Amino acid sequence: MKLLRDTSLIFQRQAQLLLRNPVWILVGVFQPVMYLLLFAPLLKPALQVSSNAEAYEIFVPGLLVLLAIFGGLFQGFGLIAELRAGVIERSRVTPVSRLALLLGRSLRDVVSLIAQAVIITLLALLFDLRVFIGNLLLAYLMLALISLMTSALSYGIALVVKSEDALAPLMNTVAQPILLLSGILLPLTFAPGWLQGIADWNPFSWAVDGTRALFRGDLGSPDVWQGLLIMAVLAAAAVAWAAREFARSVR
Amino acid sequence: MIETRGLRKSFTSRQGREKKKIEAVRGVDLDVAEGEIFGFLGPNGAGKTTTLRMLATLIEPDGGSATIAGADLRADPGEVRRRIGYVAQGGSTWEESTAREELVLQARLYGASKSTALARAAEVLEAFQLAEYADRKCKTYSGGQRRRVDIALGIIHAPKVVFLDEPTTGLDPQSRAHMWDEVRRLRAEGMTVFITTHYLDEADALCDRVSIMDNGEIVASGTPAELKREISGDVVRVGLTAEHVGAAAQALNSYKIETYDDSVRLFVEDGAVAIPQILRALDAAEVPLGTIELHRPTLDDVFLTKTGRSLRES
């Protein structure tokens, strides 16, 4: 009960701060729209599919997972600013739940990601993408889990390294192989065997496969439950670890 | 109200591959009575802030015990948090929030309902003369206003003890005087105030009792008057040109002496007797005299005799 109350207090404050900075909405939507408009038209010939709709079915889920991963991983920067402003320390001298300090922030990130995802999905509908609403909601659940995990991870790492100078290269180093090995931009069906073998060890590759299956309308595919399960387990682990970092001594 | 015994904390710092253990706090005993303004003095790096952060439950002690406002620090940090307020050195507000929003949130983090939090915030804004700016963003505040918001945040839940970490550092003299009044007002409201500072005049003017910390240990405790009385006699300060400091120190080596860039300080039994002797000694050594002054010991002199260093240099 206290956890719920504390989480909602932190969430409200974080959401309020986000809404006060409308630049975020512009940037958060502008970039994916550029991908949609400028990159997607290359896909139909490149993927050798028969229609635009088919190309979007493959590309849009990948784009959404990409946003979830990157949106989450870079949240740590905001936390470092908060650390510097003394806000975290001020929270830590109160009896507030340490898990709530993390969850309130991560849930804000999840909500803002889902808002972005809805905007992109609506735009993609204009390009003849068609998804069943039930499948779409499950895909959003997958995105929410990914974003919860990556944002918790990013907050935890930010609390450990405590400086933007260390966080930026670290996050880029983590994000790049994840991106390349997840088949986000192009499906790994074209990849040579050894590359696919490595990609199997990338949990995000499972998440992308699951999300694509949902967009394809293939709810029965094992990719779906496997992807959801892997993401749920990893998200829980990331949250548990990051909450412990909030409880430990931080400056 | 605060009682600590043998409080210890060490950190490992890494220099390249070498790991070095730094004993930041090596066994601190403190006794702070209810309703006191207690000053915690020492140079930067003495371990003041580490001690304070341990007492405020922000870092865990390696050893020792502490009871704060009746709650055991190590067994029940949650209860300690409910009973204390803590104001950090570097500020504690979001730039984009207003003072009122911050105060309401803070009160709610301490468990107050929304209506109680709003009422309490209004009350505290009035008390700290912030009502006028209450709904402006924190980034627009002056240094003094910001500091008042920080302290208001620290006492929003009416704690029994409030810890203030260098509350006047970086403030102009007028804001500093204003802050002293605020601290006295907190005490008048029934709070015990634990304040760290490296301004000795501040400790002298504001604090009922002080402890002086150096190198992780308490080197002296008592009321400012008691501590100064411990240094028997007077302090004579002789102003010189820099090139003559060495010669003067040589000529006066029968006294307890401390040298500076452009002066020496002597601790003597009786200033009136010592000054003519000092003058003769300097004259004999052909050291030209700049100024000579006699004063009662200050807390800085206490610090000097206890640690062999001046607080001002460190």
Query: Given CB atoms, is B168 within the 8 Å cutoff of chain A?
Result: no
pLDDT value of residue A110: 95
Confidence of residue B291 (pLDDT cuts 50, 70, 90): confident
ipTM: 0.83
Residue A146 confidence (pLDDT) above 90:
yes
In a domain, B313, yes or no: no
Query: Given CB atoms, is B58 within the 8 Å cutoff of chain A?
Result: yes
* 8 A C-beta contact, residue B85 and residue B154: yes
Across all residues in chain B, what is the average pLDDT? 85
Sheet of B192-197, strand order: B84-87, B161-165, B192-197, B37-41, B209-214, B217-222
Contact partners, residue B240, CB within 8 Å, separation at least 6 = B248, B262, B263, B264, B287, B288, B289, B290
Q: Are residues B35 and B100 in the same domain?
A: yes
Least CB-CB distance to A90: which of B57, B59, B153? B153
Nearest-Å Rg of the Cα atoms of chain A is: 19
Q: Are residues B17 and B73 in the same domain?
A: yes
pLDDT value of residue B313: 52
Q: Report the CATH number at residue B31.
A: 3.40.50.300
pLDDT value of residue B37: 93
Query: What is the pLDDT averaged over residues B6-18?
Result: 79
**CA distance to partner chain A, nearest, from residue B13 (Å):** 14
Query: What is the pLDDT averaged over residues A87-105?
Result: 91
Residue A179 confidence (pLDDT) above 90:
no
Q: Are residues B135 and B272 in the same domain?
A: no
CB contact under 8 A, A94 and B90: no
Least CB-CB distance to A94: which of B60, B91, B110? B110
| Rounded distance between C-alpha atoms, residue B186 and residue B217, angstroms | 28
The β-bridge partners of B213 are B218
Residue that has been written with the tokens 């719920």 in this structure:
A4
Q: What tokens appear for B125 in the block?
A: 């804004």
Residues of B in contact with A20 (CB under 8 A): 96
Residue A52 confidence (pLDDT) above 80:
no
Nearest-CA residue of chain A relative to B97? A17
In a domain, B166, yes or no: yes
Nearest-CA residue of chain A relative to B156? A94
In a domain, B247, yes or no: yes
Query: What is the pLDDT averaged over residues B192-217?
Result: 87
Q: How far is CA B101 from CA A92, B122, B138, B182, in A?
A: 18, 11, 10, 22
Helices assigned H by DSSP within B132-238: 143-154, 173-188, 200-206, 224-230
pLDDT tens for each residue of A79-94: 999 988 889 989 999 9
pLDDT value of residue A42: 80
The parent domain of residue B73 ranges over 2-228
Q: Are residues B63 and B129 in the same domain?
A: yes
Q: Are strands B234-239 and B84-87 parallel, antiparallel or unpaired?
A: unpaired
Query: What is the pLDDT averaged over residues B107-133?
Result: 91
The β-bridge partners of B239 are B263, B291
Residue B16 confidence (pLDDT) above 90:
no
In a domain, B301, yes or no: no
Residues of B in contact with A21 (CB under 8 A): 96
How many domains does chain B fold into? 2
pLDDT value of residue A156: 93
Least confident interval from A195-209, B137-151, B163-177, B288-302: B288-302
In a domain, B308, yes or no: no
pLDDT value of residue B7: 87
Contact partners, residue B84, CB within 8 Å, separation at least 6 = A93, B55, B56, B57, B68, B69, B159, B160, B161, B162, B163
Q: Are residues B143 and B269 in the same domain?
A: no
Q: What tokens appear for A155 in the block?
A: 């907050």
Residues of A in contact with B85 (CB under 8 A): 93
| Rounded distance between C-alpha atoms, residue A79 and residue A85, angstroms | 10
Nearest-CA residue of chain A relative to B57? A93
A101-110, B63-72, B172-181 — which one is most confidently predicted on average? A101-110
Query: Given CB atoms, is B77 within the 8 Å cutoff of chain A?
Result: no
pLDDT value of residue B14: 73
Confidence of residue A36 (pLDDT cuts 50, 70, 90): confident
| Rounded distance between C-alpha atoms, residue A150 and residue A155, angstroms | 9
CA B19 to chain centroid, in Å, comes to: 30
Query: Given CB atoms, is A128 within the 8 Å cutoff of chain B?
Result: no
Q: What tokens appear for A240 in the block?
A: 């548990």
Q: What tokens appear for A105 in the block?
A: 């922030």
CB contact under 8 A, A95 and B81: yes
Query: Given CB atoms, is B97 within the 8 Å cutoff of chain A?
Result: yes
Residue A71 confidence (pLDDT) above 60:
yes
pLDDT value of residue A251: 44
Q: Are residues B40 and B185 in the same domain?
A: yes
Query: Given CB atoms, is A3 within the 8 Å cutoff of chain B?
Result: no
Using a cut of 0.90, tell me whether the model's pTM lies above it: no
Least confident interval from A94-103, A151-160, A199-208: A199-208
| Rounded distance between C-alpha atoms, residue A249 and residue B185, angstroms | 32
Query: Given CB atoms, is A249 within the 8 Å cutoff of chain B?
Result: yes
Query: Given CB atoms, is A137 within the 8 Å cutoff of chain B?
Result: no
| Rounded distance between C-alpha atoms, residue B271 and residue A75, angstroms | 65
